[in-house]
């Protein structure tokens, strides 16, 4: 047998598996490389903000924005929290941070509760026109914020809560009901009908079935709705600047005023520290509860 014939011998099974393993390993390395690069692209601005907030102004003027601080100081954080001048007041972001808490907690609680009730009624009680009601709520989800500013301002004036924290809460509740109803309606539509029928046979009424049967298994979608509403209400700027005034403004509006307030030398470290303070609650929520958000979506939030 010639040497050429020996060279044409097909590779053995172990050699084929080795080639497959190397191919799979290279693909995995390439995927991880792309993911790491994308993560760095998104994290560079965040790291720049953190580094800048921990430097003093002399180091900021003479150094690189992406370089870590040589001497870490939290003076900019302290000033942004309770000393920075915002408009005509110099009490920092602390009172406006409290305002945002006073807005987000009732707005989230009320909109999620109403969304749960609406979703249950639209799923289990097929009254005439139920599909039209649900369609109207869905239509409300896609109305641009800017369109409702003037009618909502008029409504708040009639109600006597214009420029106040309750007025901003009312706006977020009205605008959030459509989304929370969509979440709960689609989730309840995926619940087996036999479970509801069994509760009815056991003597549970319409509301008893919702409270004792469906609500205990609704925590995944409750988590989705709470995180959705919390981030939307906390990060909102347009409604806050349009429907609040003076000391009732949320932290996002106060941060904008802080950055645009000129009191002499521009303190970029204070601005960055204020931005981090404003963003901390949403970062904390997604870091702690992000996996529950995805788990809740997979449990039926996007099923129809």
45-77 confidence digits (pLDDT tens): 888 899 999 988 888 887 777 788 888 888 889
pLDDT at position 16 over 70: no
CA distance 284 to 164: 27
Least confident range from 65-69, 158-162, 281-285: namely 65-69
According to the model, what pLDDT value does residue 176 have? Answer: 92
Give this prediction's pTM: 0.82
Q: Is pLDDT of 128 > 90? A: no
Residue 246 confidence class, pLDDT cut points 50, 70, 90? confident
Averaged pLDDT score across all residues of the chain = 83
The pLDDT, as a whole number, for residue 251 is 93
At residue 105 the predicted structure's pLDDT band, cuts being 50, 70 and 90, is very high
Q: Report phi then psi at 163, rounded to 5.
A: 75, 10
Q: What is the pLDDT of residue 301?
A: 43
pLDDT, one tens digit per residue, over 256-275 is: 988 887 566 778 888 999 99
């Amino acid at each position: 047998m010639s040497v050429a014939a020996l060279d044409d011998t097909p590779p053995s099974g172990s050699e084929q598996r080795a080639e497959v393993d190397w191919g799979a390993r290279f693909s995995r390395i390439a995927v991880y490389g792309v993911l790491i690069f994308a993560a760095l692209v998104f994290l560079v601005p965040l790291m720049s903000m953190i580094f800048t907030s921990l430097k003093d102004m002399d180091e900021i003027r003479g150094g690189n924005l992406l370089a870590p601080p040589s001497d870490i100081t939290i003076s900019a954080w302290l000033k942004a929290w309770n000393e920075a001048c915002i408009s005509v007041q110099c009490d920092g972001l602390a009172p406006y941070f409290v305002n945002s808490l006073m807005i987000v907690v009732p707005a989230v609680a009320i909109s999620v509760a109403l969304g749960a009730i609406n979703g249950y009624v639209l799923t289990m009680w097929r009254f005439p026109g139920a599909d039209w009601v649900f369609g109207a709520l869905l239509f409300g989800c896609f109305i641009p914020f800017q369109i409702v500013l003037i009618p909502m301002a008029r409504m708040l004036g009639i109600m006597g809560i214009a420029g106040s924290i309750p007025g901003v809460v009312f706006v977020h509740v009205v605008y959030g009901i459509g989304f929370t109803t969509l979440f709960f309606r689609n989730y309840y539509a995926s619940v087996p009908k036999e479970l509801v029928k069994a509760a009815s046979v056991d003597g549970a009424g319409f509301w008893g079935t919702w409270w004792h049967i469906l609500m205990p298994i609704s925590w995944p979608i409750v988590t989705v709705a709470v995180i959705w509403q919390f981030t939307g209400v906390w990060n909102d700027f347009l409604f806050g600047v349009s429907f609040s005034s003076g000391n009732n403004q949320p932290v996002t509006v106060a941060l904008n005023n802080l950055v645009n307030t000129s009191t002499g030398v521009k303190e970029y470290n204070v601005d960055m520290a204020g931005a981090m303070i404003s963003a901390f609650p949403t970062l904390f929520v997604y870091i702690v509860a992000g996996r529950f958000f995805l788990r809740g979506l997979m449990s039926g939030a996007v099923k129809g």
